[in-house]
Structure 1
Amino acid sequence: MIGKLFFSMSFMGMCMLWAQDSLEVSQDSLQKLNYQVIFDRVKRAGKDTAQQSLYLKAYLDKARMENNYGEIVQGYKNYLHRSEGVTRLAYADSMVLTAKSAKDARLIGSAYLTKGIVFYSEKKYKKALKNYLLADHYVARSDDAYLDHKLKYNIALVKYYTEHFDEALGLLQECQAYFKEKSIPGYLNTLLLLGRCHQRMKNHGLSSKMNNLGLMEGKRLGSNSLAIYFVQSQGINHAMEGNYPMAIAELDSSLRVIRNTKNDFANVVLSAYYLGKSYWGMDQREKAVDYFKKVDASFRERNYMKAELLSTYRYLTEYFAALNDQELRLSYLKKHIEAIDYMRSQSQYLDDTIKIGYDLKGIQREKQRIEQLLVVKEQRQNLVIAVVIFLFVLLVWLTYKYQHARRIYQKRFEAIINGQGPPLKQVGKVHVVPSQPLDISKGKIDAVLSRLEHFEGNRNFLDPKMSASKLAVIAEVNGKYLSQIITHYKGKRVMEYINDLRVDHIIEQIKQDRKLAYYSNGSLAEVAGFNSERAFINAFKSRVGITPMFFMERLKAEGVPE
């Protein structure tokens, strides 16, 4: 048995040595081929990773042996396009380092462009733009028109993402004229992005024109790889114009192809959003919500969000509000805020970088002008010191006022939480209860008071359309008598009476369900029947003597569960 085992291990070792010798011979023979032949074999290897690795290594080894910087960069690029994750970035860095060793402006610019494209594909737009601007610095020193227009196209993509559509159009029009004669893929991609820019600018006629041109030109040129995206773009136009059945037909057909053959996550999400929008427009809201949830999942799982997709959360919030599912409604409100904050952080950086980087010369001139103006700063120093002192004193005073108000607010808050009710108001002249009996029959007064009691019990005051005139109809009395009765028996004006009922109601609701403390003022206003957030805030403060913000803040500080 031991002898058999020894023989098997020896045989395996010999096989490994033969395989290694064979591999070395294969590598040596491959390096005698020209680069194009090796690259063709890389492409033909397809999903055969062993064969592909063999040819990729042969390409790069040949370039290194010949000390051919351009082909070394291409060798790393070959690896990059067949890798995933952080490995792609490592190959991009190797491209840049090699190109810098060659001291070739065109090669360095091309390497930075590729690195920027890697970041863009990972939705890391800040880093993508940074590398595009580095590429522009070097490409501008070369005479490579194709590379220059390829760079312009990729910068236009970032400007499209940041909603600088006019600037993107200017770059794309240059690309269209150049690529029409020089590059079929570049030409068709430019037409597609031109259509998308016009689409986002609500120039649907021009967008449709570009889509139709793209389909015709693709057919004429024998290149239909982007045809499905032109169909998708046309479906989006229909959705934005309210032609929902046509939108659904084109978006659904294009989505199936994109999902199954293109491995294009971003456009799958985009189609899902506009399908949701179309079904919502046709009042098929459950179907719409299924698609909107897919957009939300893309943000939660991949941190992918565009300004174009933000209203997803408005639809989801509205849907769950209609179902009276307050927990999900609150959840999507929070997600909406998170998405907006994320977009602001992305767009703010990108806006500044575009203006300071790509339009560098204009900014440098402006910088010099400002530096000259700052020469007079020393002469104004005394004034600045005086202003600082004034602001410091003002800050101390405002801080004192703020802390004093907080102490008062805290006492009122504790009184409300302890069930003591809102503080009594000092009744002004318009609220003075008449000392003489009302010139209204006792029977009518009793009837009105009874109807008001019924009005309070049924919570009819939560109707956002409730007004003094509408309450008069409910109380079956004219407005003048209603005002006199409420002033006499309630000590307040009609609308003040209605608003106080609303505030008392929302306070009781919050005390019973502390999760409401996480609602925005706008949402609480809606729940309480107010027509606007401002009206709610004013009525709340008038009723209890503190602001809704302070009230919610103190509830949260006491450990309100989310």
Structure 2
Amino acid sequence: MNQFKYFIILLFTVPAFATYQFDKINTDTISNEKPQKKDLKKLSYDDLHDLYFNNVGNPKKQMVYTNMYMAKAQSENNNIRKAKANYQIALLYYKTNTKKAIMYLDSVIKYSQNTGDRSFPVAAYCEKADFLKKQFKFKEAMANYNEAEKIALKTNIDYYYKVREYIGITKSEDLGEYNEALDIYKECYNYYKNKDFRSLKYAQDYQSIIFGLADCFKSLQNTDSTTYYNKLGYRESEITQNEEYKYLFVLNEGANQVIGKNYKTGLDSIKKALPKMIKYDNIGNVLAAYFYLGKGYDGVGKKTIAAENFIKVDSIYKSKKEISTEFIDGYPYLISYYKNLGDKENQLEWIMTYMTIDSTLQKNYKELNKLIHKEYDTPHLLSEKEDLIISLNDDKVKTYWGLGILFLTTIGVGTFGIYQYHLKKKYRSRFEKIIKEKITINSNEIKEKEIESTGIAEELVNAILEKLNSFENKKEYLEPNITVQVLSTAFDTNSKYVSKIVNVYKGKTFIQYINDLRIEYAISQLQENKILRKYTIHALGLEFGFNSAESFSSAFYKKAGLKPTYFIKELDCSINN
């Protein structure tokens, strides 16, 4: 489980503080506005240092202050100040550019070597080691810790024990050398026991060592000793009001209970601690929480939830590119889980992921081999991987035709489904429009220019329009077999006159005019008379003057924009709702 480490810069340069907190500088002396170079030149190293850390999160401002710090150091040819300026620049690249950060740390080491400074080059060696660990370069990391250890022993004994702790963390969490790490933690524990271990200066260091002891005993399966130190750490963190460490001990004890197969107790503790780890952005221990949740849920037989938590562990690893050997057991679990489900593709994916981690750890620190081959050694993984690939290829050959047919069918069904969806949407819109606004087809307004354009005498036009109005009001258009000749004979006039007047004043052909009248009436009657809605389409056609179901449906669609069957169905649904 990951121990919490705060920035070394604060331990080495501002030992009275454990977070980014500094006394506010005199605002009469230094303005909050962006200072001019001539103003910055008047400031001391301490003022520039404080301004740098007061502007964490604003790298542009920080660079202004550190550049002035560097310029001041160069003008005075002060090597230790040059080292501290380079250290500040390195911190700016902490999360964005590891290569540049290490380059500036090397400059810190160069300028501060043999200066006797209490902070440097020890801080630079430790930060560099931390970067190297993230790249799985454990040998190089240990070499840098050892250099820091040798120098701190001569320059600052407090820092010496911090470096010793970092070596213990590396041996425990990264190298699996738990007994060696335990000896280092005991050495540090004895040192802090003789200090004022509840003071601001030593409280967190002391609690961190207690956690290291508890975590080492947990890894050695010594659950009783683990519980003892978790309780001790919990009590100390409560006394000093250190909430993050308090819940770190809760999490560690939860993991210890899971290892001891007290799954319910363990799961309860982990669930209490996880939100706090998220709150403090303690990514390493968020990962630990998900891992032991996976172990716990597996213990109570909830294998799917266990797999979900192991997958969360992997997602954090892929995002942060950090994982310790303690947490890689989730990969064999996922391989077996998907194997039992018969899911060959996911099984192969987790084998590949596990082998990638395996090869990375082997490449950078071969002694780790013994730790990562518990359930799956490399030859076994390679064999299983090849078998799965062959099996999947066979399955693919067998299913290519099936997939092709399925694809074409899916495309066809999908296209038809989309077409039907849009058609229904269009029909629904038209239906709602019909219900809201009554369709009107009559237009008996007489326009002068239209009268003139017919070439028919005004008196005759008015007489025919009046007869058409009577024809509509009496609903004579419902009679079957109405033609322009039949109507002109009834009007005692020329069929050409009737046709011309309908064209001009109704804006449509005679057949369209008759059909629209019938459909408008059909729509109103279908809304009012529920018995009509039970008729067949053929019967409805006859009811409204049509000779067949097809001619009725066609006329209805041309006028309303939808089929009569759909209109009737929607009417029934809207009334029932």
With the length of structure 2 as denominator, give the TM-score of the two structures.
0.53
Does residue 203 of the first structure (1) align with residue 222 of the second (2)? yes
Deviations 1:354-376, CA, capped at 9 Å, x for gaps: xxxxxxxxxxxxxxxxxxxxxxx
- Which structure has greater helix proportion? 1
Q: Which of these residues, 165, 173, 177, is aligned with residue 153 of structure 1?
A: 165
Q: Distance in 2 between matches of 1:23 and 1:60?
A: 21
Does residue 125 of the first structure (1) align with residue 167 of the second (2)? no
Query: SS of the counterpart of 1:202?
Result: coil
Q: Distance in 1 between matches of 2:47 and 2:118?
A: 27
Per the alignment, residue 287 of structure 2 pairs with 269
Deviations 1:113-158, CA, capped at 9 Å, x for gaps: 3321333355543331121123344445x24212221221111111
Q: Which of these residues, 161, 177, 189, is aligned with residue 208 of structure 2?
A: 189
Q: Which of these residues, 296, 299, 310, is aligned with residue 278 of structure 1?
A: 296
Runs of 4 or more consecutive aligned structure 1 residues displaced over 6 Å after TM superposition: 22-25, 103-106, 518-524, 558-562
Query: SS of the counterpart of 2:43?
Result: coil
TM-superposed CA distance for 1:346, in Å, is 4.1
Query: SS of the counterpart of 1:147?
Result: helix
Per the alignment, residue 56 of structure 1 pairs with 66
Per the alignment, residue 51 of structure 2 pairs with 41
Does residue 71 of the first structure (1) align with residue 81 of the second (2)? yes
Q: Which of these residues, 214, 236, 244, is aligned with residue 233 of structure 2?
A: 214
Q: Distance in 1 between matches of 2:230 and 2:285?
A: 16
Q: Residue 225 and residue 319 in structure 1: after superposition, are their counterparts in 2 closer, same or farther (change >3 A)? A: closer
* Contact 2:112 2:121 (C-alpha < 8 Å) held by counterparts: yes
Letter of the aligned partner of 1:230 in structure 2?
F
Q: Residue 194 and residue 45 in structure 1: after superposition, are their counterparts in 2 closer, same or farther (change >3 A)? A: same
Q: Distance in 2 between matches of 1:61 and 1:104?
A: 20
Q: Residue 328 and residue 225 in structure 1: after superposition, are their counterparts in 2 closer, same or farther (change >3 A)? A: closer
Query: SS of the counterpart of 2:347?
Result: helix
Q: Residue 327 and residue 214 in structure 1: after superposition, are their counterparts in 2 closer, same or farther (change >3 A)? A: same
* Contact 1:280 1:288 (C-alpha < 8 Å) held by counterparts: yes
Deviations 1:63-103, CA, capped at 9 Å, x for gaps: 33343333332333233334322232232122112113848
Q: Which of these residues, 94, 106, 109, is aligned with residue 93 of structure 1?
A: 106
Per the alignment, residue 172 of structure 1 pairs with 185
Identify which of structures 1 and 2 has the higher relative contact order when contacts are C-alpha pairs closer than 8 Å and 6+ apart.
Answer: 2
Letter of the aligned partner of 2:180 in structure 1?
E
Per the alignment, residue 345 of structure 2 pairs with 327
Per the alignment, residue 289 of structure 1 pairs with 307
Q: Residue 172 and residue 23 in structure 1: after superposition, are their counterparts in 2 closer, same or farther (change >3 A)? A: same
Q: Distance in 1 between matches of 2:384 and 2:321?
A: 26
Q: Residue 106 and residue 259 in structure 1: after superposition, are their counterparts in 2 closer, same or farther (change >3 A)? A: closer
Q: Distance in 1 between matches of 2:241 and 2:262?
A: 31
Per the alignment, residue 436 of structure 2 pairs with none
* Contact 1:310 1:340 (C-alpha < 8 Å) held by counterparts: no
Q: Distance in 1 between matches of 2:338 and 2:36?
A: 64
With the length of structure 1 as denominator, give the TM-score of the two structures.
0.54
Q: Residue 520 and residue 97 in structure 1: after superposition, are their counterparts in 2 closer, same or farther (change >3 A)? A: closer
Q: Distance in 2 between matches of 1:297 and 1:148?
A: 36
Q: Distance in 1 between matches of 2:344 and 2:35?
A: 70
Deviations 1:398-444, CA, capped at 9 Å, x for gaps: xxxxxxxxxxxxxxxxxxxxxxxxxxxxxxxxxxxxxxxxxxxxxxx
Q: Distance in 2 between matches of 1:207 and 1:522?
A: 39
* Contact 1:126 1:350 (C-alpha < 8 Å) held by counterparts: no
Per the alignment, residue 527 of structure 1 pairs with none
* Contact 2:136 2:364 (C-alpha < 8 Å) held by counterparts: no
TM-superposed CA distance for 1:279, in Å, is 1.4
Q: Aligned pairs, how many?
A: 347
Deviations 1:253-275, CA, capped at 9 Å, x for gaps: 3222222432x332222211111
Q: Which of these residues, 64, 73, 80, is aligned with residue 90 of structure 2?
A: 80
Q: Residue 311 and residue 115 in structure 1: after superposition, are their counterparts in 2 closer, same or farther (change >3 A)? A: closer
Per the alignment, residue 408 of structure 1 pairs with none
Gap regions ≥5 residues in structure 1:
1-21, 353-517, 525-548
* Contact 2:257 2:263 (C-alpha < 8 Å) held by counterparts: yes
Q: Residue 285 and residue 212 in structure 1: after superposition, are their counterparts in 2 closer, same or farther (change >3 A)? A: same
Per the alignment, residue 547 of structure 2 pairs with none
Per the alignment, residue 462 of structure 1 pairs with none
Q: Distance in 2 between matches of 1:303 and 1:109?
A: 26
Query: SS of the counterpart of 1:226?
Result: helix
Gap regions ≥5 residues in structure 2:
1-31, 196-200, 371-378, 398-577
Q: Distance in 2 between matches of 1:299 and 1:339?
A: 10
Query: SS of the counterpart of 1:257?
Result: helix
* Contact 2:244 2:277 (C-alpha < 8 Å) held by counterparts: no
Query: SS of the counterpart of 1:283?
Result: coil
Query: SS of the counterpart of 2:335?
Result: helix
Q: Which of these residues, 337, 354, 358, is aligned with residue 336 of structure 1?
A: 354
Query: SS of the counterpart of 1:112?
Result: helix
TM-superposed CA distance for 1:201, in Å, is 0.7
Per the alignment, residue 322 of structure 2 pairs with 304
Q: Residue 31 and residue 186 in structure 1: after superposition, are their counterparts in 2 closer, same or farther (change >3 A)? A: farther
Per the alignment, residue 144 of structure 1 pairs with 156
Letter of the aligned partner of 2:159 in structure 1?
L
* Contact 2:59 2:92 (C-alpha < 8 Å) held by counterparts: no
**Root mean square deviation of aligned Cα:** 3.8
Q: Residue 351 and residue 272 in structure 1: after superposition, are their counterparts in 2 closer, same or farther (change >3 A)? A: closer
Per the alignment, residue 541 of structure 1 pairs with none
Letter of the aligned partner of 2:348 in structure 1?
L
Letter of the aligned partner of 1:249 in structure 2?
D
TM-superposed CA distance for 1:25, in Å, is 6.3
Letter of the aligned partner of 1:239 in structure 2?
V
TM-superposed CA distance for 1:209, in Å, is 1.8
Deviations 1:447-467, CA, capped at 9 Å, x for gaps: xxxxxxxxxxxxxxxxxxxxx
Q: Distance in 2 between matches of 1:348 and 1:68?
A: 43
Q: Distance in 2 between matches of 1:106 and 1:25?
A: 29
Query: SS of the counterpart of 1:242?
Result: coil
Deviations 1:213-239, CA, capped at 9 Å, x for gaps: 222222333444422322221221122
Q: Distance in 1 between matches of 2:74 and 2:367?
A: 39
Q: How does 1:308-319 map to 2 (within 5 A)?
A: 308-319=326-337
Q: Distance in 2 between matches of 1:341 and 1:25?
A: 52
* Contact 1:153 1:172 (C-alpha < 8 Å) held by counterparts: yes
TM-superposed CA distance for 1:43, in Å, is 3.0
Identity %: 22
* Contact 1:69 1:99 (C-alpha < 8 Å) held by counterparts: yes
Deviations 1:157-199, CA, capped at 9 Å, x for gaps: 1111211111111111222232452623322221111111111
Q: Residue 199 and residue 25 in structure 1: after superposition, are their counterparts in 2 closer, same or farther (change >3 A)? A: closer
TM-superposed CA distance for 1:519, in Å, is 8.2
Q: Distance in 1 between matches of 2:131 and 2:383?
A: 42
Deviations 1:270-307, CA, capped at 9 Å, x for gaps: 21111111112122222211111122334555543332
* Contact 1:110 1:139 (C-alpha < 8 Å) held by counterparts: no
Q: Distance in 2 between matches of 1:283 and 1:148?
A: 47
